């Protein structure tokens, strides 16, 4: 117990002072937590409170954030070629920096990251592995990570996951995400290793292979699934067509990210796979390890321990007011981000900002927004109305039959929405019937629909489920 207390103290000091965190110390805390769970069945509250941070008290939250931002600005101004130039051009000083000063710093864009990738790597860094975005929302971005980051992030995630009951030694995680997402794939596998759970990193393979893996024996079948909403949709559809139901699976949780997860798809997953918790998570390669989770009331709560999160107005770039749409801007703190950090990175993910006093959920102590509503570049302005990608996905995937994953394209034309759907999404409905089912009339919007054969990527939106990684599945040749 004494050794555990010392390790907790070391972690707390690093988190408060901003000193580099020992991944080995956190890994030993994971071992301590496993031992505690084995004996008592529940962890202590002190470590969880430390990991969640001082965010229920607005004054304590502000003090923590300003200290972390000053520390991060100081390091970037000294060691990052890109931010050395930027901070010098606006005479930004770390000393005395306040939250009110943040909007004066130009947001970092994806275009800047693509144009000057080498300038984001800090002086003296030792890049170890590269990870890429998928490219489904534009040109892929390459991000370099250090060994320190690759060891620290999974250790912290494993500790948090154990304390929250999200993963344990008896679990088996099946990972159906693109193998190009090396950071996410590596982190999931490392978390499983640290807690003693099994893992199956399959990637985006033919859906038949993944479904077979989910069914592989009562004691060996996966209990956790990490995937994209569009791939989950394909798994659920195939399972239904094979006549499978809740009694055929051992899953207890499904973590989805990278795309909009509709209400209809989440409900279908629970009906088909069993009483599983279907999580709509937030994560982004450029701002790792900052992440977000959705509470029971559908609010998105970001992890404020590891980064500063803002919501800015889409037109002015000023802080968005409660109830308004805005883009999520994230600054990962040092020492959580070391090799290729970003500051005020504009994710272009659209949310609606929520007022703190409106929250009454289990995570009400942490500020929240709506769920991700889509990318800013995909917003449509029709007759004075703003239509988000989530609205279109929710409407299409609520159509009769099995319309998920919704394959469509949409544009604003002459004051109305022109929506094109695949035949799989429309099902037995005609184009006119689809238009009547798209429940946007209450906003004074008119939708005109067309149905096309096949999931043509040239016409319809790209899905991450289409990032298929082929394997040799045929019978070996005989002489």
Kindly report the backbone phi and psi dihedral angles of residue 213, in degrees, each rounded to the nearest multiple of 5, phi listed first. Answer: -65, -40
Distance, in Å, from the CA atom of 160 to the CA atom of 166, rounded to the nearest integer, reads 8
Domain map (residue ranges) of the chain? 379-461
pLDDT value for 162: 94
Q: What is the pLDDT of residues 203-261, one digit of tens each?
A: 999 999 999 999 977 678 999 999 999 999 999 999 999 999 999 999 999 999 999 99
Torsion, CA 283, CA 29, CA 224, CA 368, rounded to 10 = -40
Q: Is 267 helix (H, G, I), strand (E, B) or coil?
A: helix
Nearest to 402 by CA among 373, 431, 423: 423
What whole-number distance in Å separates Cα of residue 76 and Cα of residue 347?
Answer: 20
**pTM of the full structure:** 0.92
In whole angstroms, give the CA distance from residue 447 to residue 148: 51
Cα–Cα distance, 376 to 353 (Å, whole number): 15
Specify whether domain 379-461 bears CATH 3.30.70. no
> Which residues, given as ranges, of the chain have pLDDT below 50?
441, 475-479
Q: Could you tell me if 259 and 374 are in contact, meaning their C-beta atoms sit under 8 angstroms apart?
A: no
- At residue 3, the pLDDT reads 83
328-369 pLDDT tens trace: 999 999 999 999 999 999 999 999 999 877 788 888 888 899
């Amino acid at each position: 117990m004494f050794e555990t207390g010392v390790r907790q103290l070391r972690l707390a000091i690093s988190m408060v002072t901003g000193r580099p965190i020992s991944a080995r110390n956190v890994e030993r805390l994971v071992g301590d937590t496993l031992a505690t769970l084995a004996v008592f069945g529940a962890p202590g509250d002190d470590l969880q409170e430390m990991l969640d941070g001082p965010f229920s008290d607005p004054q304590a939250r502000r003090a923590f954030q300003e200290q972390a931002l000053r520390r991060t600005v100081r390091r970037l101004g000294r060691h990052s070629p890109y931010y050395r130039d930027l901070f010098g051009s606006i005479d930004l000083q770390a000393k005395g920096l306040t939250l009110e000063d943040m909007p004066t710093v130009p947001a970092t864009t994806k275009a800047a990251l693509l144009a000057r990738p080498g300038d984001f790597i800090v002086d003296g860094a030792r890049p170890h592995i590269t990870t890429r975005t998928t490219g489904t929302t534009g040109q892929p971005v390459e991000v370099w990570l250090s060994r320190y980051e690759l060891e620290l992030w999974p250790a912290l995630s494993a500790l948090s996951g154990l304390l929250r009951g999200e993963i344990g030694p008896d679990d088996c995680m099946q990972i159906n995400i693109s193998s190009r997402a090396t950071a996410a794939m590596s982190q999931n596998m490392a978390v499983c290793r640290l807690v003693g759970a099994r893992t199956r990193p399959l990637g985006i393979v033919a859906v038949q292979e993944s479904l077979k893996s989910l069914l592989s024996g009562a004691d060996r079948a996966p209990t956790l699934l990490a995937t994209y909403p569009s791939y989950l949709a394909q798994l659920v559809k195939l399972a239904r067509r094979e006549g499978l139901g809740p009694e055929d699976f051992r899953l207890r949780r499904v973590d989805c990210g990278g795309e909009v997860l509709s209400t209809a798809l989440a409900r279908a997953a629970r009906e088909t796979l069993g009483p599983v918790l279907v999580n709509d998570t937030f994560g982004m390669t450029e701002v790792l390890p900052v992440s977000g989770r959705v509470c029971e009331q559908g609010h998105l709560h970001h992890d404020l321990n590891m980064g500063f999160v803002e919501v800015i107005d889409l037109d002015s770039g000023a802080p968005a007011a409660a109830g308004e749409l805005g883009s999520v801007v994230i600054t990962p703190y040092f020492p959580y981000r070391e090799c290729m950090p970003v500051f005020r990175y504009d994710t272009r993910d659209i949310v609606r900002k929520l007022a703190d006093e409106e929250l009454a959920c289990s995570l009400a102590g942490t500020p929240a927004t709506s769920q991700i509503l889509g990318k800013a570049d995909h917003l449509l302005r029709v007759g004075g109305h703003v239509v988000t990608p989530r609205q279109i996905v929710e409407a299409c995937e609520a159509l009769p039959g099995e319309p998920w994953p919704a394959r469509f394209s949409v544009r604003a034309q002459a004051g109305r929405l022109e929506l094109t759907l695949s035949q799989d999404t429309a099902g037995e409905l005609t184009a006119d019937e689809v238009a009547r089912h798209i429940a946007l009339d209450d906003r004074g919007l008119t939708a005109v629909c067309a149905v096309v054969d096949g999931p043509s990527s040239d016409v319809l939106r790209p899905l991450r489920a289409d990032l298929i990684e082929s394997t040799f599945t045929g019978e070996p040749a005989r002489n």
